[in-house]
Amino acid sequence: MDSTSIKQTVKEKYGEIANQSKAQNDSSCCGAGGCSTVDYAVFSENYNQLEGYMPEADLGLGCGIPTQFANIKKGDTVIDLGSGAGNDCFVARAITGETGKVIGIDMTEIMIGKARDNAEKLGFNNVEFRLGDIENIPVAANRADVIVSNCVLNLVPDKRKAFSEIFRILKPGGHFSISDVVLVGALPPSIAQASEMYVGCVSGALQKAEYLSIIQETGFADLKVQTEKRIVLPDDILSEYLSAEQIADYKKSDVGIFSITAYAEKPNTTACDPKSGCCC
C-alpha cells in the first residue's frame, strides 16, 4: 500500500477499534483482529495504579507507559502523539498539574470525540485534543517541553518526517519518551504484507537499529532505550497467517518483535539551526 492507502486503512480500522472493549483490544495486536482462545494482553501495560488513570480512556492500545519515564515536571507543556481516548494525556496531566498544558493529537475523529468527552467528564480545562497527522503536527514550533507517544509511530508511513516534526515542535532542551514496536530480523512475508498486521502495530514497525538511527539523524541527543520487552504473539494470531510448520520455524528463528521506550533530547543551543524553527 502507498502512504495514502495506509493512512486511510489505519484511520478506518481505529475508528472501529474505538468502539471495541478494552478486553478485545488487550487480546489482540493493538486491537486488530482477535484471539479466539487466548485471553491476555499482547502489548498493553497495566495503568491501574497510576495517578490520573481513567479506565474509560484506556482502550488497551499501548505497548508501554511512556509517561513513567518522561520526566514530566509541574507546569510543563506535554504533547501526546496518537492520543486515542486520552489515557496518556490524563496521566500526564496528573503530573504537570493545573499550571501545565496537555495536548493530544490523533488522526481519527471518533478517538478525538471520545477524548474530548472524557476530558469534559473530568472537568479539565488545560487538556486539549486536536485532529491531526503526525507527519504534519498541528502545533507551532518550539512549543512542547515533553512529547510522549504510545505504540503509534509504527503506524506512520514516513517515520523520518514524524521525528522531524517531533524535533520541530519541541522546545530547545525539551525531550521525548516514546513507547513503540520495533523488529529484529525479517518477519515472514505473509505477516509483513498483511494490512491487518500493519494496523496491529507489527508489520509497519522498523528494524530497531534503523529506528534508533533515524532519531539520531534527525538531530536528537542523549538517545537511550529506557525499556525493552520481547513481544510473543500467541498461536491464535500466528495461525491466521502461518501454517503449523511455519509457526514452528518462526518460533525457532532469531526474529524478534520488541516493545521499547526510547528517550532523546532536542539540543539546547543558541546556534542558528533551521530544524529548531529559528530564522537564519
74-105 per-residue burial string, b: 16 or more CB within 10 A, e: under 16:
eebbbbbbbbbbbbbbbbbbebbeeebbbbbb
In this structure, are residues 125 and 82 in contact, taking their beta carbons and an 8 Å threshold?
no
Return d(Cα 247, Cα 10) in angstroms, integer: 26
pLDDT of residue 270: 47
- Over 90: is that where the pLDDT of 163 sits? yes
Listed in sequence order, the residues at least 6 apart from 112 whose beta carbon sits closer than 8 Å to its beta carbon are 104, 106, 129, 130, 131
Tell me the per-residue pLDDT of 52-98, one tens digit each, with 9 for 90 and over: 999 899 888 888 999 999 999 999 999 999 999 999 999 999 999 99
- Going by pLDDT thresholds of 50, 70 and 90, the confidence category of residue 27 is low
Return d(Cα 196, Cα 10) in angstroms, integer: 9
Return d(Cα 45, Cα 18) in angstroms, integer: 18
- Over 50: is that where the pLDDT of 49 sits? yes
Return d(Cα 157, Cα 98) in angstroms, integer: 35
Tell me the per-residue pLDDT of 181-240, one tens digit each, with 9 for 90 and over: 999 999 889 888 877 776 666 778 899 999 999 999 999 999 999 999 998 888 888 888
Helices and strands of the chain, counted as H and E runs: 10, 7
pLDDT of residue 38: 45
Grid cell of 249 as nine digits: 520455524
pLDDT of residue 12: 80
Q: In order of start, what are the domains of the chain with their CATH numbers?
A: 3-265 (3.40.50.150)
Grid cell of 106 as nine digits: 490523533
Average pLDDT for residues 266-279, to the nearest whole number? 62
- Going by pLDDT thresholds of 50, 70 and 90, the confidence category of residue 40 is very low
